Amino acid sequence: MALPLIWLGGAALGALALAEREHRRKLLLERSLGRSAREPHEATTVLAPSVWQFDGPSVRPVPGAIVCCHVYGLVEHTGVWLGDSIAELHGSGLIRAVSAKRFLHGRTGSRIFVACDHDNQPLATQACADRASEALFQYRDYDLFANNCHRFVWQCLSGEDREVKSFEAFNQLLASFYSRALYWDPVPV
């Protein structure tokens, strides 16, 4: 009795994965032809980081670029690329510089993604890298929703200390800050 339900569930998940893959393929084709969104509209994030799909061009981050990885496929963790390390707010509250390998350690994500524009150029500022470097080894009262990694990265980028409760809200702030539609491209490993 349970076997047909399991089979139907598997078929539904497979169909969703194929639909996502086809959607991503179309977005990447439009982007390569120069017909992709340039400014943010209703959807600020045109190409979101994917747990399953690693297609598309790999982009090398530059200092001050915003990077992210998946945590258990449910949420995203963000940081600031410093060149040879990534500044992150750890769950302990410590702001630290870690290697790309360490940034992924203990998280289910196997890839790092960098926020880019429609031309595969990382969205970065030197001021963001400078603020992130200055914040290293400081402590914050970490809270998953009120004082999280997105808030830390936003403060590094904008200089503004404000609550950022979700990755979606963070993407809206990024798109507004840069006046660009966002594309999360994989970082080469």
Show the domain range for 141.
Answer: 2-186
How far from 141 is each of 24, 25, 89, 138, 153, CA to CA, in Å? 38, 41, 10, 10, 15
Number of structural domains (the chain) is: 1
Write down the pLDDT at residue 75: 77
3-class DSSP assignment, residue 145: coil
User: Can you tell me the distance from the alpha carbon of 38 to that of 166, in angstroms, rounded to the nearest whole number?
Assistant: 23
**Mean pLDDT per 10-residue segment, the chain (189 residues):** 53 46 53 55 56 69 96 87 97 96 83 92 98 98 95 98 95 93 88
CA distance 66 to 25: 24
The radius of gyration of the chain from alpha carbons, rounded to an integer in Å, stands at 17
- Paired tokens of 20: 């996502």
- 87: domain CATH number? 3.90.1720.10
